Amino acid sequence: MAPKRRSPKNRSPPTIQVEDGKESSTARFLKIHKENVVVEEKPQVTESRVGSSYQAEIPDFDPNSPVGPSTHKSETLWIPQSTDHTVKKLYKKILSPGNNERDLDQEDILHALYTSEYRIPEAIKKAKLTEFANPPRRTMTFPCKRFDKQEIRYLEDGILTFGKNFFKIRKRYFPKRTVGELVNLYYFWKKRRTCEQLVYRCMDYMDVMTDEIVKLQGVGKQ
């Protein structure tokens, strides 16, 4: 007579008995060994980004762009051709107590050294006698130069793109104008009706809705 075969029973994983407010010894054992397990991280292999799909999209040249050669004149204040030892030596002599009566800063001292061809004795004399290297300057000439309609459109486009960063607006749209002229035009332009239309186009309606909700909540509390 053939022996009877017993089919294996489906055994569920052992449960961990936890008393009220206490942790069983089995749970503590599993927790400790779980914290000590170190998982080795495999280095991520990246493919070389070569091909047309990874190239930058450069727009075509626009010959009608308003950007032209800049005629704005700038002044060189400093070219670092001397050693750090020379600069520190000059700082020590000019900025020492009793010598810095004009309240010079590092920019003034470096400019004096640059215009003196990096000779310390001449730089000391020039720093004490000449004007400051980069004082506040008026960048708007009088009488004011008029802006045409096209330039006003450029100003509106610049404000939509860069906000009130007149340096970037000038670089992009007005290379032959100064920042002071743009600021002066901006305050006259604000009084125009086109400014109200532009602000309407830039309006964030989520902020408006939030303000209205806050107002209604304040009225309800009263």
The token pair at 144 is: 């004011």
pLDDT at 145: 77
pLDDT at 220: 47
pLDDT of amino acid 3: 54
Task: Pick out the chain residues at pLDDT < 70.
Answer: 1-43, 45, 63-73, 97-102, 130, 135-142, 193-209, 211, 217-222
Q: Round to whole Å and give the CA distance between 58 and 196.
A: 34
pTM of the model: 0.35
Predicted pLDDT of residue 133: 74
Q: pLDDT value at position 202? A: 54
- Write the pLDDT tens digit of every residue in 53-84: 788 888 787 766 665 555 556 777 778 887 78
Residue 139: predicted pLDDT: 64
Q: What is the pLDDT of residue 48?
A: 76
Q: Using N-to-C axis directions, what is the helix angle for 106-115 and 84-94, rounded to 10°? A: 120
Q: What is the pLDDT of residue 221?
A: 47
pLDDT of residue 33: 56
